[in-house]
Amino acid sequence: DGGITQSPKYLFRKEGQNVTLSCEQNLNHDAMYWYRQDPGQGLRLIYYSQIVNDFQKGDIAEGYSVSREKKESFPLTVTSAQKNPTAFYLCASSIALETEAFFGQGTRLTVV
Amino acid sequence: SQKIEQNSEALNIQEGKTATLTCNYTNYSPAYLQWYRQDPGRGPVFLLLIRENEKEKRKERLKVTFDTTLKQSLFHITASQPADSATYLCALAPGTYKYIFGTGTRLKVLA
């Protein structure tokens, strides 16, 4: 089945630690995205990538980093510089402009 | 500044009625607009896309309108069912890869 897979579903992190969220797609999509969702704030764009080996900052990139070494994979690292990392993180992909985004099931990150 | 507004208050309607959700935007000239459904703890799922030169789009019990003069989209669910209860998000794409999402409206259909 084609789709987009995020792992893990739940993640706990101690303050001061970096953590990496996985996102893999087998839809052969060029564009991939990372969003953060907080209650009452909707989805906010962290990073996006239009093509392999290229990515751009979104609206809230501070404290996050990404890589796009393969078309299928777009991992997100939440660094210790992110002051309020507890949130629901969503990865998405799309084939091109004017097409829908396909979302993963999300990773809920909690800092303990 | 650029802004997308959806009614943040929950919408409760009786089963069988038509639900109407609103998406207003300012300072954009979107090439197209999308609607998504999101269930609690899950990722959004695409429902409909409407382009700036289209006034209306339908899919089964769903209907979307797009008024670029009013800068507004309306999302209708006819003959609503309890299974339609979810949060509905609108998203704009102003001609780039960057989708811009509204905060969503929570719909509850009462049996």
pLDDT digits (tens, 9 = 90+) for A21-49: 999 999 999 999 999 999 878 899 999 99
How many residues are listed for chain B in this entry?
111
Residue of B nearest to A39 (CA): B103
Task: Please give the span between the terminal C-alpha atoms of chain A, in angstroms, as a whole number.
Answer: 35
Neighbours of A39 (CB within 10 A): 8
- Chain B environment of A35 (Cβ under 8 Å): 101
**Residue A54 confidence (pLDDT):** 94
Residue of A nearest to B34 (CA): A100
pLDDT mean across residues, chain A: 93
What is the count of residue pairs from A and B with beta carbons less than 8 Å apart?
A: 58
A51 vs chain B: nearest CA distance in angstroms?
11
Residue of B nearest to A99 (CA): B49
Please judge whether A102 and B101 are an interchain contact, meaning their C-beta atoms are less than 8 angstroms apart. Answer: no
Please judge whether B96 and A94 are an interchain contact, meaning their C-beta atoms are less than 8 angstroms apart. Answer: no
Q: What is the pLDDT of residues A3-16, one digit of tens each?
A: 999 999 999 999 88
**Residue B28 confidence (pLDDT):** 77
pLDDT cut 70: percent of chain A above it:
96
Residue of A nearest to B6 (CA): A42
**Residue A1 confidence (pLDDT):** 61
CB B98 within 8 A of CB B91: no
Sequential DSSP letters for chain B: --EEEE--S-EEEETTSPEEEEEEEES---SEEEEEEE-TTS--EEEEEEETT-SEEEETTEEEEEETTTTEEEEEESS--GGG-EEEEEEEE-SSS--EE---EEEEEE-
Please judge whether A40 and B8 are an interchain contact, meaning their C-beta atoms are less than 8 angstroms apart. Answer: yes
Between residues A24 and A50, which one has the greater pLDDT?
A24
**Cα B61 to Cα A7: distance, rounded to the nearest angstrom:** 34
Contacts of A27 (CB under 8 A, 6+ apart): A2, A3, A4, A93, A95, A102
Nearest to A100 by CA among B61, B51, B4: B51
Contacts of A84 (CB under 8 A, 6+ apart): none
**Residue B1 confidence (pLDDT):** 62
The helix (H) or strand (E) run that includes residue A64 is strand A64-66
- Most A CBs within 10 A among B48, B59, B101, B105, hence the mutation to make, goes to B101
Name the stretches of chain B with pLDDT < 70.
1-2, 95-97
**Cα A38 to Cα A109: distance, rounded to the nearest angstrom:** 11
Instruction: Provide mean pLDDT across the span A60-83.
Output: 96
**Residue A98 confidence (pLDDT):** 66
* HSE (side-chain half, CA atoms, 13 Å) at B28: 28
